[in-house]
């Protein structure tokens, strides 16, 4: 009821502000660099980074400074890391699932998923998004035999300086709803964990568009992810302690 009322009252203004933001915000390219490889030495860890523009590294010029590059470099100090990046700018949850469905079946020990911003801006409800994430998790378990799935929360869009008010407030409100749904989903499963990382979205931490992460945020995000994976592989009980078997997704 509240959501419907907000839309009725603010819809014209939100639409105009959304069009304005799309027109004036620089469209940054995805960074150059490798999207798969093997680095490091030690126990073997197979890692997949999956999702949207943040997973793809938009905001920096090279994958070495993006999430996947910094994560792999961090883990390579202790592991032989086989890694793959599957991500594309503009993707929402349904696009990500379709991308996974098109890929070859192969095992991954850990999958990091970043998705949600485009679903927030695209109008998908938090409930529908949560259900789609659950279907994606089942697919990751079935297709990749994923032992550990880390879910990045939707970023705090109320703090995105590139967004004018009240659009910033409205999208921030929706992002929080998505994260509440994500936390509930994760609490009901043993195969995933929501990351609790929080980073300051200001100054040179952000990319020049004021919307995507810059290298400092990717570095912190990668460090938090690497720490979580080290904890899990040292003690699998930290993520639930067992694998689950699911049927092939419909």
d(CA 225, CA 11): 38
Residues 95-103: contacts with CB within 8 Å, 24+ apart? 96/50, 96/51, 96/52, 96/136, 97/132, 97/135, 97/136, 97/139, 99/50, 100/50, 100/136, 100/139, 100/140, 100/143, 101/139, 101/143, 103/143
Residue 245 has pLDDT above 50, yes or no: no
Residue 6 has pLDDT above 90, yes or no: no
Kindly give, in sequence order, each residue whose CB lies less than 8 Å from that of residue 102, ignoring residues fewer than 6 positions away.
none
DSSP state of 205: G
Q: Residues 162-211: pLDDT tens digits?
A: 889 999 999 999 999 999 999 999 999 988 999 987 776 666 778 888 88
Average pLDDT over residues 220-237: 89
Domain spans in the chain, listed from the N-terminal domain onward: 2-235
Q: Residues 54-103: pLDDT tens digits?
A: 999 999 999 999 999 999 999 999 999 999 999 999 999 999 999 999 99
132, 93 contact by CB (below 8 A)? yes
d(CA 147, CA 141): 8
Helix residue ranges, H only, 103-165: 117-122, 126-144
Provide the pLDDT confidence category of residue 246 given band limits of 50, 70 and 90: very low
185, 214 contact by CB (below 8 A)? no
Buried b (16+ CB within 10 A) or exposed e, 118-141: bbbbeebebeebbebbeebbbbbb
Q: Hey, what CATH topology would domain 2-235 get?
A: Rossmann fold (3.40.50)
d(CA 126, CA 223): 29
Q: Residues 106-134: pLDDT tens digits?
A: 999 999 999 999 999 998 999 999 999 99
d(CA 208, CA 61): 12
Distances 247 to 72, 145, 149, 244 between C-alpha atoms, Å: 31, 12, 18, 10
d(CA 74, CA 142): 28
Question: What pLDDT does residue 2 have?
Answer: 61
Q: Give the residues across from 82 on adjacent strands.
A: 38, 46
d(CA 162, CA 51): 22
Tokens 């680095």, residue located: 39
């Amino acid at each position: 009821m509240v959501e419907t009322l907000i839309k009725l009252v603010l819809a014209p203004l939100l639409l105009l502000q959304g069009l304005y933001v799309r027109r004036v915000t620089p469209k940054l390219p995805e960074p150059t660099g490798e999207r798969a490889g093997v680095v490091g030495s030690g126990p073997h860890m197979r890692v997949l980074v999956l999702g949207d523009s943040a997973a793809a590294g938009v905001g920096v010029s090279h994958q070495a400074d993006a999430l996947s590059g910094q994560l792999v470099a961090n883990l390579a100090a202790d592991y032989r890391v086989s890694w793959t990046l599957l991500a594309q700018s503009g993707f929402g949850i349904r696009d990500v699932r379709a991308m996974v469905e098109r890929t070859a079946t192969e095992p991954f020990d850990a999958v990091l998923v970043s998705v949600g911003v485009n679903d927030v801006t695209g109008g998908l409800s938090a409930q529908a998004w949560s259900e789609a994430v659950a279907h994606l998790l089942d697919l990751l378990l079935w297709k990749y035999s994923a032992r550990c799935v880390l879910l990045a929360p939707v970023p705090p869009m109320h703090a995105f300086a590139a967004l004018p008010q009240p659009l910033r407030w409205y999208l921030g409100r929706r992002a929080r709803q998505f994260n509440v749904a994500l936390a509930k989903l994760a609490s009901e499963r043993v195969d995933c964990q929501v990351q609790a990382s929080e980073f300051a979205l200001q100054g040179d931490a952000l990319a020049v568009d004021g919307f995507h992460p810059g290298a400092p945020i990717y570095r912190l995000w990668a460090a938090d992810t690497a720490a979580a994976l080290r904890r899990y592989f040292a003690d699998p009980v930290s993520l639930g302690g067992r694998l689950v078997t699911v049927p092939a997704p419909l």
